[in-house]
Structure 1
Amino acid sequence: MSSSQYVHERTGAPAVENAGSGMPRGGARRRKPRYARSGGCMRRLLPQALVVTFLAGGTTAFVAEDKAIELSVDGRPRILHTYADDVTELLADEGLRVGAHDVVAPASGTALTSGDEVVVRYGRPVWLTLDGHRRAVWTTARTVDGALGQLGVRAEGAHLSTSRSQRIGRAGLTLHVRTERSVTIMADGRVRTVRTNAATVREAVEQAGVTLRGQDTTSVPPGSFPRDGQTVTVLRVTGSREVREERIPFPVRRVDDPTVFRGTEVVEQSGQPGLRRISYALRTVNGVRQKPRLLRDEVVRAPRTRVVKVGTKPRPGSVRGADHLDWRALAACESGGRPDAVDASGTYGGLYQFDTRTWHSLGGSGRPQDAPAEEQTYRAKKLYVRRGASPWPHCGSRLHG
């Protein structure tokens, strides 16, 4: 179709096959106009010719703005025709949004010409734990292998939580990587160096052919992450437990008692030692005995306080009618001269073998065998004044020599 034909189809004006022929469209011959009217016809055709020329030039400009561009989005290329002037306009026309972590080449705003290639690579978040350190990174790679290359992670000999061919979606993924490291293990007098991607020191030790038994441990925590170039010493530990029992001395409490003669002490409550049980952990590390470690210290039995009555009562004078008697001879006969003597039945006690009831009737307190010898003699003289020598039927005669 000629330019004039394109114009006529759009404007609806009759097509002109040959402006000078005077032939009507459709082949019907038209009368040749007279010369006098030919000027008027030319005047009518001139504006139409100008319009045809103008529109023909516009078509040429319209065609010139159409560009063939190769657009690749995340590795998927396609050819498209666009009237966009630059990369930014092209992306907007295609509904492609890009962010700070995405890559566009050439850069946004770059002018376009037909035949250009525009590449868009979307960023993908990766939550990476590398040798125990966790961080969030971004990558435009579409596989784990590509991401490791972009991030500069040495993957040879490394342990990966997923395969290297695993694709990374726009939502990203979580990735754990343990690179291969050199670790030196010192155990049982030998040195072993291993290349390992173990997650813990314990695993690295086992990979070196060393077994930890019982209480064995390492110079660094067995559960810690092994570092490149690290030296780990295996500690062979044997241990036992020791329990010791110790006596706890009982305290003594002294109480003044006005009913007991001065210089006299009476034990009101006997004391009893307590008992403490102490547990220790004993360890030997690589044959060297360590300082015992206290595990537990418990009181098994609390001590019982000893209570002593201290006499404050003024000591009595002599007992009239009894001072001249031989009290030493009577005491030797009754108790062998021992103030704390007690008979086999436990009924009588002291120098003069008082029973408790008689002792208390004479003003004594506690047990007679616990009182000083002077007090016992004083009470015996008082008893003699009351009843004579009858309380001592077998030894009473000794009083008179």
Structure 2
Amino acid sequence: MYADTYRPGYERPLPRQSGSAPTLPAMPPLPTVPVMPPLPTVPAMPGGAVGEEGVDGRAARRRKGRPGERSESALRRLLPQALVVAFLAGGTTAFVAEDKAIELSVDGHQRTLHTFAGDVGELLAEQGVPMGEHDMVAPAPGAALASGDEVAVRYGRPVRLTLDGSRREVWTTAHTVEGALDELGVRAQGAYLSASRSRSIGRAGLALDVRTERAVTIMADGRARTLRTNAANVGEAVREAGITLRGQDTTSVPLGSFPRDGQTVTVLRVTGARRVYEEQIPFAVERTADPTLFRGTEVVDRPGRPGLRRTTYLQRTVNGVRQKPRRERTEVVRRPREQLVRFGTKPRPDSVHGADHLNWQALAACESGGRPHAVDPSGTYGGLYQFDARTWHSLGGSGRPQDASAREQTYRAKKLYVRQGAAPWPHCGPRLHS
């Protein structure tokens, strides 16, 4: 299938490293040639004789020689050379046998190479192919290599996946979005994808939003509508169903929530109005003792003023059914003002000079029937002696005369008599002298 790019490993240049010269792989050692044993020497004749023929005869015979002797001498000379050639041929054969032709595919880039590596891990280290935790290699790094094997490396890529509203980070060795979805087992038919299926995934990965198709039922105005949708939220699914929300209309689940497969969403038609109620906030009273005032006497230095609280309620009708009013907010429009009161602690005298001898009991019986809390029909006069409020306050009284004790009322009546005589009681005044 692929062109043979054979080049022996010991001739192929390695990748050049920055700042250094290229290095060549070490040559395997050549086989050692055994040393030939020394040839046996011919022993000398005893006594140093050289034979009957003499020196000249032997030399002539040596020069001429016999055919068998010449063959033996030539064999002795060729034997060491043949042994050397045989050993060299055997070493070269073993050297060539370790070289393997491998098909290496790295992230889809395929090439044919020759290596002396024994397993896949050595091959990848030799080729400078790094491996990470999420990368895939086949066969496994520890698998042995043989000539003709195929080795595939696929790098892992991070995908920040948001699947139907749930976010997580996953790893894939696929090169495209479509391949990643298949590898992750995500049903992409009818789904919304934030990136096209054919988009490539780089080593840095990508962010991918996937919304699968779901069946959602929308209940509105007494009618159910079921649709298949990949909407991002409930509000979008309601619009896809052709339903319009107006005014205070809402749904049974939040409009921004993610619609789940098989979910039923009810549209709530809401009408209503806001009602505002106001109520007074009572004021507090601060009372301070005053030794210059008689006991039972009170003076209001600063009158109190009630505050005002305003509360807003929402009265709603949902799908024709009136709901319980719901309080929306409460605000204080005016804060209450505290009332300051001084009360007397000075002992009150029991008598008033010039009025103690009169018949005050007869006057009280005539004016009020002797009842300290009596009030006339007009509400103007009150107490035993039917004081009006202005006269009562001018005599040092506080509050209403009918609320004071009988003793205090009699004391104030004596003071009035000393000031004006019996004139304040034109009808019953004569009873004082009875």
TM-score > 0.5 by shorter chain = yes
Taking the aligned partners of 1:296 and 1:217, their CA distance within structure 2 comes to 21
Instruction: Give the gaps of 5 or more residues in structure 1.
Output: 1-9, 11-31, 342-348
In structure 2, relative to structure 1, the CA distance for the partners of 1:309 and 1:34 (3 Å cut) is: same
In structure 2, relative to structure 1, the CA distance for the partners of 1:308 and 1:236 (3 Å cut) is: farther
- Counterpart residue number, 1:313: 348
Letter paired with 1:86: D
Q: Is the 8 A contact 2:285 2:338 kept in 1?
A: no
- Counterpart residue number, 1:106: 139
1:203 and 2:230 are equivalent in the alignment: no
Give 2:418's match in structure 1, choosing from 357, 360, 382: 382
Taking the aligned partners of 1:118 and 1:33, their CA distance within structure 2 comes to 69
CA RMSD across the alignment = 4.4
Residue range with higher mean Cα deviation, 266-275 or 115-124: 266-275
Q: Is the 8 A contact 1:339 1:369 kept in 2?
A: no
Deviation at 1:266, TM superposition (A): 5.5
In structure 2, relative to structure 1, the CA distance for the partners of 1:273 and 1:174 (3 Å cut) is: closer
Give 1:52's match in structure 2, choosing from 85, 91, 108: 85
Deviation at 1:179, TM superposition (A): 0.7
In structure 2, relative to structure 1, the CA distance for the partners of 1:285 and 1:355 (3 Å cut) is: closer
Deviation at 1:239, TM superposition (A): 3.1
- Counterpart residue number, 1:290: 323
- Counterpart residue number, 1:240: 273
- Counterpart residue number, 2:195: 162
Task: Map Cα deviations across residues 207-247 of structure 1 (whole Å, 9 max, x no partner).
Answer: 11112222222111111111111111111222321111123
Taking the aligned partners of 1:231 and 1:354, their CA distance within structure 2 comes to 79
Q: Is the 8 A contact 1:73 1:121 kept in 2?
A: yes
Deviation at 1:337, TM superposition (A): 12
Aligned residues: 349
Q: Is the 8 A contact 1:87 1:112 kept in 2?
A: yes
Q: Is the 8 A contact 2:389 2:401 kept in 1?
A: no
- Counterpart residue number, 1:27: none
Deviation at 1:350, TM superposition (A): 5.6
In structure 2, relative to structure 1, the CA distance for the partners of 1:292 and 1:200 (3 Å cut) is: same
Deviation at 1:131, TM superposition (A): 0.8
Taking the aligned partners of 1:163 and 1:99, their CA distance within structure 2 comes to 27
Deviation at 1:200, TM superposition (A): 0.8
Give 2:167's match in structure 1, choosing from 134, 156, 180: 134
Give the % identical residues. 58
Secondary structure at 2:226 match in 1: strand
- Counterpart residue number, 2:256: 223
Taking the aligned partners of 1:276 and 1:120, their CA distance within structure 2 comes to 76
Taking the aligned partners of 1:239 and 1:194, their CA distance within structure 2 comes to 31
Taking the aligned partners of 1:219 and 1:85, their CA distance within structure 2 comes to 67
Deviation at 1:136, TM superposition (A): 1.4
Q: Is the 8 A contact 1:327 1:377 kept in 2?
A: no
Letter paired with 2:418: K
Deviation at 1:166, TM superposition (A): 0.7
Task: Map Cα deviations across residues 184-215 of structure 1 (whole Å, 9 max, x no partner).
Answer: 11111110111111111111111111122222
Taking the aligned partners of 1:228 and 1:320, their CA distance within structure 2 comes to 99
1:272-283 equivalence runs, <5 A: 272-283=305-316
- Counterpart residue number, 1:183: 216
Task: Map Cα deviations across residues 306-362 of structure 1 (whole Å, 9 max, x no partner).
Answer: 8585896254267267669x989xx9xxxx999967xxxxxxx96799699xx67xx
Secondary structure at 1:381 match in 2: helix
Taking the aligned partners of 2:77 and 2:410, their CA distance within structure 1 comes to 169
Give 2:245's match in structure 1, choosing from 212, 231, 241: 212
Secondary structure at 1:186 match in 2: strand
Letter paired with 1:52: V
- Counterpart residue number, 1:26: none
Taking the aligned partners of 2:378 and 2:253, their CA distance within structure 1 comes to 72
Instruction: Give the gaps of 5 or more residues in structure 2.
Output: 1-29, 31-62, 368-375
Residue range with higher mean Cα deviation, 297-306 or 39-48: 297-306
Secondary structure at 1:313 match in 2: coil
Q: Is the 8 A contact 2:392 2:398 kept in 1?
A: no
Deviation at 1:149, TM superposition (A): 0.3
Deviation at 1:55, TM superposition (A): 1.2
Taking the aligned partners of 1:33 and 1:56, their CA distance within structure 2 comes to 37
Taking the aligned partners of 2:171 and 2:83, their CA distance within structure 1 comes to 61
Secondary structure at 2:278 match in 1: strand
1:84-99 equivalence runs, <5 A: 84-99=117-132
Give 1:268's match in structure 2, choosing from 300, 305, 311: 300
In structure 2, relative to structure 1, the CA distance for the partners of 1:308 and 1:315 (3 Å cut) is: farther
Q: Is the 8 A contact 1:248 1:303 kept in 2?
A: no
Letter paired with 1:60: T
In structure 2, relative to structure 1, the CA distance for the partners of 1:62 and 1:266 (3 Å cut) is: closer
Secondary structure at 2:208 match in 1: strand
Give 2:180's match in structure 1, choosing from 144, 147, 150: 147
TM-score by length of 2: 0.67
Taking the aligned partners of 2:182 and 2:286, their CA distance within structure 1 comes to 84
